[in-house]
């Protein structure tokens, strides 16, 4: 008797194999390119020999911080999305975002996805600065704001597929993601130092951009204009080009400047090292002195006195005179 033939199996009955990491990278090159930039920035920061969770290192490599942004370093609204607070933060954000990003990049295409990601990150950074004006100043860094923008884009695409707002909130997938967002928001408010302002700023930015992008041609132009106006508005509120340092802001500005000038910062535990950046320290003091902060003029004068430039004495005297005009109590230091 001959052995029975093996059963015939149709191709459709065989489960698709999981794509390799290289196949995923070819399908979503922007997603993996952005992850590679994040890793490269972290390696760069780590090779400087500094703790990538320290305040000074985060600021040195582009983190978001209100006083720095208001002093003219607007580029931080972009660079902050590529710097992370240590390796665990970076690896978690990368792991959590890859799946979301791959699907949206394939749905929107490479160029539109890149624009979505960057605009979401900028919107998140702006919201972080605005949030700091309400809840207190903070240093913010990480890709999670941009990642929440990708989640917002997912909501927008799902909303386009469903017939009504009621159907959208009744959707099981939408509800699941909303519950996860609520949980992470609660954790950010109670247990971990998460920037919820940035998360919601990115979420809203990503949703609005994708909603405009996928709108019918007749409405698309007006929605783009509305989106651009909204993003420009929050950008202006965040960067505050009219800002004049006063009170605590003025004191903190001078403290940051001195830390950059001398490479140390005083803490309750004693002096600690700080990134030595004389040019940034001078810019911060010049900003403060120009806008009427007497202590900034005085600190800048003391710094210039230590320089060997021929006109150092004259410049220092002029700055001390300016400080005395702003604060008569400093007149006794001018001779």
Would residue 335 show up in a list of annotated catalytic residues for this protein?
no
Among 48, 54, 21, residue whose Cα is nearest residue 35: 21
109 close to 153: Cβ distance less than 8 angstroms: no
Query: Exposed, middle or buried: residue 146 (CB in 10 Å: 0-12, 13-18, 19+)?
Result: buried
Torsion, Cα 245 248 254 259, to 10 degrees, reads -130
- If one counts every other C-beta atom within 10 angstroms of the C-beta of residue 24, the result is 16
3: DSSP letter: P
Contacts of 106 by beta carbon, 8 Å cutoff, 6+ apart: 27, 28
Q: Partners of 270 in the beta sheet?
A: 267
What is the DSSP secondary-structure string of 6-63? PPP--GGGSPPPPPPHHHHHHH-HHHHHHHHHHHHHHHHHHHTT--TTSHHHHHHTT-
Give the whole-angstrom CA distance, residue 255 versus residue 253: 5
Would residue 316 show up in a list of annotated catalytic residues for this protein?
no
259 close to 301: Cβ distance less than 8 angstroms: no
272 φ, ψ (degrees, to nearest 5):
-130, 155
Catalytic residue (one of 120, 144, 295, 316):
144
3-class SS at 114?
helix
The runs of H, that is alpha helices, within the chain are 21-27, 29-47, 55-60, 66-70, 76-79, 87-108, 110-135, 144-161, 165-170, 172-190, 196-213, 217-239, 247-262, 278-290, 294-305, 312-326
Give the whole-angstrom CA distance, residue 81 versus residue 85: 11
Catalytic residue (one of 120, 199, 303, 316):
199
Question: Which residues participate in catalysis according to the annotation?
Answer: 144, 199
């Amino acid at each position: 008797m001959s052995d029975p033939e093996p059963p015939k199996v149709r191709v459709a009955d065989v489960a698709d194999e999981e794509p390799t990491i290289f196949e995923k990278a070819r399908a979503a090159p922007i997603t993996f390119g952005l992850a590679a930039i994040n890793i490269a920035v972290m390696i760069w920061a780590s090779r400087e020999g500094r703790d990538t969770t320290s305040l000074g290192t985060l600021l040195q490599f582009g983190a978001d911080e209100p006083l720095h942004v208001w002093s003219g370093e607007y580029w931080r609204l972009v660079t902050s999305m590529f710097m992370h607070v240590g390796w665990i933060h970076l690896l978690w954000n990368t792991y959590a975002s890859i799946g979301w990003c791959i699907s949206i990049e394939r749905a929107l295409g490479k160029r539109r996805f890149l624009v979505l990601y960057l605009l979401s990150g900028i919107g998140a950074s702006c919201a972080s600065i605005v949030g700091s004006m309400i809840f207190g100043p903070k240093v913010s860094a990480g890709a999670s704001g941009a990642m929440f923008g990708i989640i917002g884009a997912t909501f927008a695409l799902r909303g386009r597929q469903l017939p009504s707002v009621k159907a959208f909130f009744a959707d099981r997938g939408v509800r699941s993601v909303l519950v996860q967002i609520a949980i992470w928001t609660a954790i950010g408010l109670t247990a971990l130092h998460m920037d919820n302002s940035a998360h919601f700023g990115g979420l809203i930015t990503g949703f609005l951009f994708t909603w405009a992008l996928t709108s019918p041609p007749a409405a698309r132009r007006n929605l783009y204009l509305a989106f651009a106006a909204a993003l420009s508005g929050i950008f202006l509120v965040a960067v505050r080009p009219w800002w004049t340092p006063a009170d605590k802001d003025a004191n903190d500005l001078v403290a940051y400047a001195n830390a950059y000038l001398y490479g140390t910062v005083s803490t309750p535990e004693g002096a600690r090292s700080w990134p030595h950046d004389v040019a940034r320290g001078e810019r911060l003091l010049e900003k403060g002195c120009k806008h009427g902060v007497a202590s900034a003029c005085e600190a800048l004068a003391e710094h210039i006195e230590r320089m060997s430039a021929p006109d150092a004495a004259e410049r220092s005297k002029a700055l001390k005179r300016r400080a005395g005009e702003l604060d008569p109590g400093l007149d006794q230091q001018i001779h």
